[in-house]
Amino acid sequence: MFVTIENAERIAREPKTRNQLSGPVLRDWFNTVSVYHFDNWNDGGKFFTSYLAHPAQGATAAAIFWQNNDRVRHSEQDFHSATYRKALLQAFAFATVDAVLWKVGPLSESSIGNVGLPVHSWDRNCRAFHIPCVDRTGVSDMVMNEVGGTAMTVGFQWLDKHLQRRIESHLQSRALIDITRMLTYPPQSLANIVRLRAPWFRDNRR
């Protein structure tokens, strides 16, 4: 469901994605992956997209893993716990797989939108023609999703434990509690929607 939401957002927002929906799906997907620049860091994305939006995507994937792990989903952040540390590494691995699948998998930017597929011969041979080469693929997002996403996960879990708990202890309004929960842990709010729960839901308290 998370992947479906992401692709629906891209198709609705990006004309260039909609323009690539026609044509042979498998052939275009394989051709796109075959020319993917795994030796390139920058994929030409904006700073916000690469270094904030993609880490948030990774943090949401980590939250999805977390809420499906019965060993930790009812607990709070605790670096003294071996179970917590193991879950953090597993969430990192889960976000890594999600990032790779999002870039080059069967329901990805490569298959839906053909990001990186050369449109003209000079796009493929830009250096040979001595014309500017435009970076459209790279590994920055594949790395930042899980690295930045794990950092966000740790940070948001800290806020939930040390800030949000304190806020809730001083608030009587259920509406204000729900609003602050969404503000202090946005990736968890999206992960809740994916499992058809209210955005402000918490496994470890009402």
Contact 60, 2 (CB under 8 A): yes
Greater pLDDT, 22 or 126: 22
pLDDT at 122 over 70: no
> Model pTM?
0.87
Instruction: List the domain boundaries for the chain.
Output: 2-148
Q: What is the pLDDT of residues 95-117, one digit of tens each?
A: 999 999 999 999 998 889 888 77
**Residue 154: its pLDDT value, please?**
98
- According to DSSP, residue 177 is labeled H
Contact 162, 120 (CB under 8 A): no
Residue 143 C-beta-side C-alpha neighbours within 13 Å: 10
Q: Is 74 helix (H, G, I), strand (E, B) or coil?
A: coil
